[in-house]
Amino acid sequence: MYGFRAEGPMEQFEIIPIFSLPTGSNLLAFTNSALWMVIGTSAIIVFFFAATRRAALIPGRLQSMAEVFYEFVSDLVRDTIGPEGRKFFPYVFTLFIWILVSNLFGLFPSLPGVPHGLHTFTPTSHLIVTLALAMLTISIVIIYGFWKNGLGFLKLFWPPGLPWPMYILIPAIEVISFLSRPLSLAIRLFANMFAGHVILKLFAGFVVSLLSAGGAVMLFGIAPFFGAIAVTALEFLVAVLQAYVFAVLTCIYLNDAVHAADH
Amino acid sequence: MSVFAIVTNAAAAAEEAQAHAAEASSAGLPQLDPAWWPSQLFWLAITFGILYWLMTTRFLPAIAGAIEERRDRIADDLDQAGDFKRQAEDAESAYNQSLADAKAKAQAIAADTRTEMDNEIAALQAETDAELAKQVAAAETRIGEMKAAAATKVGEAAAQTARAVVETLIDEAPTEEAASRAVADAAARPEG
């Protein structure tokens, strides 16, 4: 009976409280979003705990995987920021892994028959979450930028070597572009996750509706079925890519903070 | 099992309550409902914070340590291999050196032995030559003596013959001394 009830494409994003904190208020309630954050984070912790439990000279499978992640992000940070970027490596690594796992776990199908509150959920499909991560990055950029460069950080908005009339316009554009960074960073990830899941749910919804119609109409369910499979494959790509893009852009912005006064 | 049941019941109940609440509020995007923002930020901060803390204090140093250790070990092994190679080369040159030494020594011994043997042979030959020369000298002396004796005997015979001839001719025998003197004079006279 569950199999033939199609939900609307937006229901998957609903926040459903599972239990309230002992404060009694629902303000900080443990919701399905929190549940999937905890599931994802726990999975990461278990994985890395198992991978590093016996750090061996000749790595096992888990350790090899962990080292691949490590080298990947480490190279990214070193190539983008340089040797000074070493101190940001744990942040970028945590960010990348957390977003990656959040994106990927949201693509798991829900177990049939479980209540709505336990359906798979993608925390990064909510703007507030991606915005918080983006603001965290930009806050680090601004605070570290001023701490490292002092007022020299403002040279970021004053690119050198332009003919003087350009300086009427360029700093304003630079400031606007800087301020739009957290928004673009947040909206890029959120919109990708959101749109992907909507399309996925639309295709899946078509399949369910057409199948429940019965008769010859059921045959028309084949096309959206393969569509859903294709979109699922695409979404795995997008999930990995967007985590990577978020990490890359974070590195690029951190690079500004590190090297703002250099030119 | 029972825990799961409790959680699912609670979730179902909460779902119902939320559904009513959702109907009451505007039916927009769930993302734009500020009511759940604090909760999401709170749990994001907790999970992300714990993960960051564990990454910095535990996982990343462990992985970095393993990678570093491996890099060191490989460098060490390469160094050691280089040492072994150098040792092998040293051993080879030492071997070649001792081989050359041994050859030179063998040649020296051979040369020594040859000269020694040459000397010995030369000494033996000289000794033999001296012995032979001595024997030859002795033989010559004896020959000389025999010659002298023979000459004396010939002289005596000539003297006797001369006396006999003279006796026969003149029936007077010269003295032995006169006959000997005449024979000696005749022998000393140069030939014709």
Confidence at B21, pLDDT banded by 50, 70, 90: very low
- Residue A37 with chain B: CB contacts under 8 Å: 43-44, 47
> Is residue B47 within 8 Å of residue A37, measured between CB atoms?
yes
Q: Which of A34, A41, A133 sits opposite B51 (nearest CB)?
A: A41
Does any domain span residue A128?
yes
Q: Does A123 touch chain B (CB under 8 A)?
A: yes
CB contact under 8 A, A30 and B32: no
- Per-residue model confidence (pLDDT) at position A218: 81
Does any domain span residue A91?
yes
Confidence at B35, pLDDT banded by 50, 70, 90: confident
CB contact under 8 A, B39 and A38: no
Sequence-separated contacts (24+) of B26-29 with Cβ below 8 Å: B29/A10, B29/A13
User: Which chain B residues in 7-36 lie under 8 Å from chain A, judged by CB atoms?
Assistant: 7-8, 10-12, 14-15, 17-18, 22, 29-33, 36
Take residue A232 and report the two structure tokens written for it.
């699922």
Cα torsion B90, B93, B94, B100 to 10°: value is: 180
Where in the sequence is the domain holding A212, given as residue range(s)? Answer: 11-262
- Per-residue model confidence (pLDDT) at position A204: 87
> Is residue A210 within 8 Å of residue A218, measured between CB atoms?
yes
pLDDT tens for residues A201-220?
899 888 888 888 777 888 88
Confidence at A114, pLDDT banded by 50, 70, 90: confident
Mean pLDDT calculated for residue range B145-158: 88
pLDDT tens for residues B89-124?
999 999 999 999 999 999 999 999 999 999 999 999
Take residue A114 and report the two structure tokens written for it.
């479980």
Q: Which of B8, B22, B44 sits opposite A129 (nearest CB)?
A: B44
3-state secondary structure A75-134: HHHHHHHCHHHHHHHHHHHHHHHHHHHHHHHCCCCCCCCCCHHHCCCCHHHCHHHHHHHH
- Per-residue model confidence (pLDDT) at position B30: 86
Does any domain span residue A5?
no
> Is residue A260 within 8 Å of residue A155, measured between CB atoms?
yes
ipTM of the complex: 0.90
pLDDT tens for residues A142-176?
999 999 888 888 888 888 888 888 888 888 999 99
Is the pTM above the cut of 0.90?
Answer: no
Distance from CA of B91 to the nearest CA of A (A): 33
User: Which chain A residues in 19-58 lie under 8 Å from chain B, judged by CB atoms?
Assistant: 19, 26-34, 37-38, 40-41, 44-45, 48-49, 51-52, 55-57
For chain A, the domain total comes to 1
- Worst-scoring range by mean pLDDT, A42-46, B100-104, B179-183? B179-183
CB contact under 8 A, A18 and B38: no
